[in-house]
Structure 1
Amino acid sequence: MLMVFIVEEKYTSRGFILQFHFLGTSAGSPTVERNVTALGFMPRGRKNWWLFDCGEGTQQRLLRSSLSLPKLNKIFITHMHGDHCYGLFGLLTSRGLMSGGEEAVHIFGPKGIKEMIKTVLKLSYVNLSAPLTFTEFDEAGDLFEDDEFIVSNVRLSHDVPSWGYVVKEKDRPGSFDSAKAIRDGIKPGPIYSKLKNAEMVTLEDGREVNGADYVGETQKGRVALIGGDNDRPQLFGDALKGAAVMIHEATHTEEAMAGLSFRSRHSTAKRVAEVAEENQVKNLVLTHFSPRFITKKRKGMKCVDEIEDEAKEFFHQDLHMARDYDVYELDRESKLKLIDSRYRKDHKSLNK
């Protein structure tokens, strides 16, 4: 299962507003209504965004989104199945033809991702203007860190080596109480920056004050879990505890799984919902639905509503079913809200 989501965040003293853009929500192959997995992540207020998985046709989905391809600077691939990575070659080639597309792109993924990309680009005579850098892995650990986030990987369970990503927002210092400082006779100025850092400061009148007395409680960073194809959601381990959002495949229902003539190394809605409920995950977004499940109910055919109904039995927090072009916003208090849905708008207009 693969999904693409974009996290956009609006930075304030309390952190970013995170936005997730779902570019593809189908498992294995596309349908009329759903493309294969891709998810954009972009802290709103930043100029660059990240992509998680890149199924075939992802660049077409981007054309109908608010994401700018030249501003993409990091790509995280969960595993090497085609519905999660075959879109890379066209996307990188198109990006290289655009103004601004000469900026570097860093690609993270399982061992083999570099060879695959380099080989296809070489054999198709593509010379990118943008340098590509790679971080390949075959074990879990921290992969990337900047001023705001730490990204690590988790080994999952699938037919091939498959990985999940944990995006951890760094803790933030509490808000500075300038009103209290003024009441205590501390005038605004450069000294405030020291107080905000909880430093000991000597004032002009000789008083010593502790900056910690003027700073509120540390604000814990939010955690977003992004799963690749995986039949054991509990493998996210301790990262599950109280996670702000978990985005995970729910390819089947229990009934559909039992009716298969082969072993599917994917999750059911029940399986994911039980793990999320047990670990008090605040928001669960299901995606990567089997093409056997159509979007709109039709007699004699399975519908995505069945996956949702099964999940609701076992997960009692905020549950969401991702559709292509959905944009979700996660606020500082970890409330997840659907803020845009091109599919739902198009679907409504078609049925007027």
Structure 2
Amino acid sequence: MMKLTFLGTSSGTPTRHRNVSGLAVQTVLGADWVLIDCGEGTQHRVLQTPLSLNDLAAVCITHVHGDHCYGLPGLLASAGMNKRTKPLKLIAPLPVWQWFEATRALTDLHLPYEVEHVNLDGPSLVYEVPGVCIESHALLHRVPSHAYRVQVETRRVRLKADALRAIGLPPGPAWRALQTGEDVPFNGDVLRSADYTDAQVEAVAAVMGGDNAEPALLRDACKSAQLLVHEATFTQDALDKVGPGPMHSSARLLAEFAQAVEVPNLILTHFSARHQNEEGMAALMAETQACYSGHAFLANDLDVYELDGAGHVTVTRA
């Protein structure tokens, strides 16, 4: 029901194998997709995927720090040069919008489509189309930072075929009409669609966090969610040495929270360069598994994770 493609998993600066933050979210409901964060070089990663900038419906920026937004002007400019014309929503804190507007003015950037800013100081529901809604949730960082909860809902309508056969209505156009919600005349009566169909609704939710020193702020966001994607910039030992100044999370802090709220799937990302070797990644995973009994993953650039209607996660490694 939901597909996540990691376009960047490094904290602060890109490294040889990891770009800075970017995450593409697709659903089963169509070609439209949403980008969460857009660090420098994100558009280069997009070129390595089947994603099209013409299908990009919204960009959600978690906060104004450059490793989460410096790729935005270039990506939007490329979309325009590729003949995009349909409007785009930019869901972001006000400083991101102010910076983008200044960049657009000072670099003579003319886009052939409208960019609509959705500020994050109002209601938490920031994006809604049939079957998909996105809520924002405030986090704790050196600047205002947010997480996004994405919920996808599908509705399948099944005909009560045995009941229709029992009254003598053969398969055909009338069956299709009933399945799409139309009432159908039959033998001087009217067959109500609601009487001859069953609707099955499936819903899944994933929470994608920005930089955050306090995972517990996502307690409400994680209710009934099947997946949490969150930064784990440091191991706990490294965070203790760095101190509270950067206002990031450790793998242990994150794992303890995920265990407490019983979220069944956890993807760690936004790794400090100091941990981006075999030993460092093993330490992050060991720290996570010591505190968390669910399904834990360490994201790599261009990994694709799929969340199905039953809440199960599968991964295709790049």
Q: How many residues align?
A: 317
Aligned residue type for 1:232: E
Return the TM-score normalized by structure 2: 0.90
What is the SS of the residue equivalent to 2:38?
coil
User: Are the aligned partners of 1:36 and 1:84 in contact in 2 as well (CA < 8 Å)?
Assistant: yes
Flag the 1:29–1:332 CA change in 2: closer, same or farther, 3 A. same
What is the SS of the residue equivalent to 2:5?
strand
1:77 correspondence with 2:54:
no
Of 296, 319, 323, the match for 2:296: 319
User: Are the aligned partners of 1:78 and 1:84 in contact in 2 as well (CA < 8 Å)?
Assistant: yes
Deviation string for 1:222-263 (max 9, x for gaps)?
111110111222222333123121111111111111111553
Q: CA deviation at 1:175?
A: 3.8
What is the SS of the residue equivalent to 1:259?
helix
Alignment of 1:180-259 (within 5 A): 180-183=163-166, 185-188=168-171, 189-190=173-174, 193-194=177-178, 204=187, 211=194, 214-215=197-198, 218-259=200-241
Identify the residue that residue 348 of structure 1 maps to in structure 2: none
User: Are the aligned partners of 1:224 and 1:244 in contact in 2 as well (CA < 8 Å)?
Assistant: yes
User: Are the aligned partners of 2:6 and 2:23 in contact in 1 as well (CA < 8 Å)?
Assistant: yes
Flag the 1:116–1:282 CA change in 2: closer, same or farther, 3 A. same
Identical-residue share of aligned pairs (%): 32
Q: CA deviation at 1:22?
A: 0.1
The whole-number CA distance in structure 1 between the counterparts of 2:122 and 2:289 is 34
Task: State the superposition RMSD in angstroms.
Answer: 2.4
Identify the residue that residue 129 of structure 2 maps to in structure 1: 146
Could you list the runs of 5+ residues in structure 1 that have no partner in the other structure? 1-16, 298-302, 343-352
Aligned residue type for 1:295: N
The whole-number CA distance in structure 1 between the counterparts of 2:4 and 2:92 is 20
What is the SS of the residue equivalent to 1:238?
coil
The whole-number CA distance in structure 2 between the counterparts of 1:268 and 1:138 is 27
Q: CA deviation at 1:182?
A: 2.6
Aligned residue type for 2:230: H
The whole-number CA distance in structure 2 between the counterparts of 1:212 and 1:68 is 42
The answer to which of 106-115 and 43-52 deviates more is 43-52
Q: CA deviation at 1:206?
A: 5.3
Of 243, 252, 272, the match for 1:290: 272
User: Are the aligned partners of 1:33 and 1:295 in contact in 2 as well (CA < 8 Å)?
Assistant: no
Flag the 1:138–1:204 CA change in 2: closer, same or farther, 3 A. same
Structure with the higher fraction of residues in strand conformation: 2
User: Are the aligned partners of 1:223 and 1:239 in contact in 2 as well (CA < 8 Å)?
Assistant: no
What is the SS of the residue equivalent to 1:151?
strand
Identify the residue that residue 2 of structure 2 maps to in structure 1: 18
The whole-number CA distance in structure 1 between the counterparts of 2:51 and 2:190 is 52
User: Are the aligned partners of 1:49 and 1:73 in contact in 2 as well (CA < 8 Å)?
Assistant: yes
Of 292, 299, 307, the match for 2:284: 307
What is the SS of the residue equivalent to 1:257?
helix
Return the TM-score normalized by structure 1: 0.82
Of 72, 97, 117, the match for 2:81: 97
What is the SS of the residue equivalent to 1:112?
helix
The whole-number CA distance in structure 2 between the counterparts of 1:166 and 1:95 is 26
Deviation string for 1:113-143 (max 9, x for gaps)?
2221111011111111222111112245111
Flag the 1:238–1:212 CA change in 2: closer, same or farther, 3 A. farther
Identify the residue that residue 145 of structure 2 maps to in structure 1: 162
Flag the 1:210–1:149 CA change in 2: closer, same or farther, 3 A. closer
